Amino acid sequence: MANTNDSLTSVIELGNTEHESVVNQKRMAKRKLYDKLFYRLCQSTILLALVTLVILVVHIIISGVSWLSLDFFTNFTSRFAEQAGIKAAIMGSMWVLVLTAAFAIPLGVSAAIFLEEYAPKKKWVEWIQINIGNLAGMPSIVYGLVGLTVFVRYLNFERSLLAGSLTLALLVLPIIIISSQEAIKAVPLSLREAAYALGAKKWQVVFLQVLPAALPGILTGVILSISRAIGETAPLIVIGALSFVAFTPASIWDEFTVLPIQIYNWASKPQEEFHQLAAAAIIVLLVLLFAMNFLAIYLRQKYQRYKL
């Protein structure tokens, strides 16, 4: 604690009262220059990033926009660029979107509820959490290898929509869990206490109070995760989704293709026209994804307004 003696002696020892400032005026100009240069550096970096994004978007639009016609949406792919379309790919993507969401969302949200509301504070729960973190960072192509062996070969789903969607569901599951956990965590403890104080059972507190309060946050995370699945290519290639499909899938047992695979296929052809087709398909894919993103951002901003 304070030592009065200490401070008294210090005054005697170091008793000068004049104010010599430690500030070196000569260095001031240099410091100001560095400060300004660094600010400019940060600013130009941001600008560079924005310009890159603009170039990316403009380049794709310029290359692809002239190929966007009604036929492009209603035709199947073809060896002739003029006749090629994305009917099969877009239908496939829609199927995958619905199926993946149907598999992954209930599982992911339940797992998040378990971890946040029910799990005991034990070592094994911590390990599960670490495991989920690692799964979220596992390369998508490894999910493809798992899907190939489990769904395509062992369970004999062949190269079907079912196999593809299950693979993608596994891929997005950890992301959905983590983002839902964040949303549930953000619900204040006081809400739970208030519900318990009214005599609610645990499941009533969780499902009637906490979950509705966390819903906008969960939804935001879910939408972003599913949009990730829509853009995935590699795991579907690994499980054997086809690139030349001239039919629309009628059931979950049918073979399929999706937009990203169609894009990959066209982009890897040498002819310029197919590159332009790829750009056109990218426009469609990006419009779909950006719409989902905007929805998520809108939901979050609305949610933030009601944040407790």
Partner 1 sequence: MSASASENSEIILETKDLNVFYGDKQAIHSVNMQVKKGTVAALIGPSGCGKSTFLRSLNRMNDFVSTARVDGKVFYQGKNLYSKKVDPVELRSQIGMVFQKPNPFPKSIYKNITWGPKINGFTGDMDLLVEKSLKRAALWGEVKDRLHDSAFDLSGGQQQRLCIARTIAMNPDVILMDEPCSALDPRSTQAIEDLITELKRRYTIIIVTHNMQQAGRISDETYFFHEGNLIESGDTKQIFTKPSVQMTEDYITGRFG
Partner 2 sequence: MKNIKNLFIEKSIHLFLLISVSITILTTLAVIVLLGKESIAFFSEVSIISFLFGTNWSPLIEPQSFGVLPLVCGTMWIVFGSVIFAVPVGLLVAVYLSEYASDKVKSFLKPILELLAGIPTVVYGYFALTFITPLMKWFNPEIEVFNAASGAIVVGIMILPMIASLCDDAFSAVPSSIKQGGYALGANTFEVIKDILIPATKSRIGAATVLAVSRAIGETMAVTLAAGATARLTGDPFGSIQTMTAYIVQVTMGDAPAGGVEYLSSFAVGTLLFLMTLVMNIIGNQWVFKSRIRVV
Start-end of H helices in 186-233:
189-197, 202-204, 211-231
Least distance in angstroms from the C-beta of 283 to partner 2: 10
273 binds partner 2 (CB under 8 A): no
Rounded distance between C-alpha atoms, residue 84 and residue 87, angstroms? 9
Q: By CB under 8 A, what part of segment 7-26 binds partner 2?
A: 23
Give the closest residue to 192 by CA, choosing from 108, 117, 111.
Answer: 117
2 binds partner 1 (CB under 8 A): yes
29 binds partner 1 (CB under 8 A): no
115 binds partner 2 (CB under 8 A): yes
Least distance in angstroms from the C-beta of 192 to partner 2: 16
What residues contact residue 279 under an 8 Å CB cut-off, 6+ apart?
60, 61, 63, 64, 67
Among 8, 38, 291, 302, binds partner 2 (CB under 8 A): 38
Least distance in angstroms from the C-beta of 305 to partner 1: 17
User: Of partner 1, partner 2, none, which one sits near residue 282, judging by CB under 5 to 8 A according to partner kind?
Assistant: partner 2
Largest interatomic CA distance in the chain: 95
Distance of CA 84 to the CA centre of its chain: 31
Least distance in angstroms from the C-beta of 91 to partner 2: 18
Long-range contacts of 245-249 (CB under 8 A, 24+ apart): 245/76, 245/77, 245/88, 245/89, 245/92, 246/76, 246/77, 246/88, 247/76, 247/88, 248/87, 248/88, 248/91, 248/92, 249/91, 249/92, 249/95, 249/161
Q: By CB under 8 A, what part of segment 33-52 binds partner 1?
A: 35
Q: By CB under 8 A, what part of segment 64-103 binds partner 2?
A: none
Query: 3-state class of 255 per DSSP?
Result: strand
Q: x/- contact string, 4-23, with partner 1 (CB under 8 A)?
A: x-xxxxxx-xx--x-xxxxx
Among 8, 35, 244, 287, binds partner 2 (CB under 8 A): 35
Which helix (H) or strand (E) element contains residue 35? helix 28-64
Among 161, 278, 284, 299, binds partner 2 (CB under 8 A): 278
Among 61, 81, 94, 146, binds partner 2 (CB under 8 A): 146
Q: List contacts with partner 1 (CB under 8 A).
A: 1-4, 6-11, 13-14, 17, 19-24, 26-28, 31-32, 35
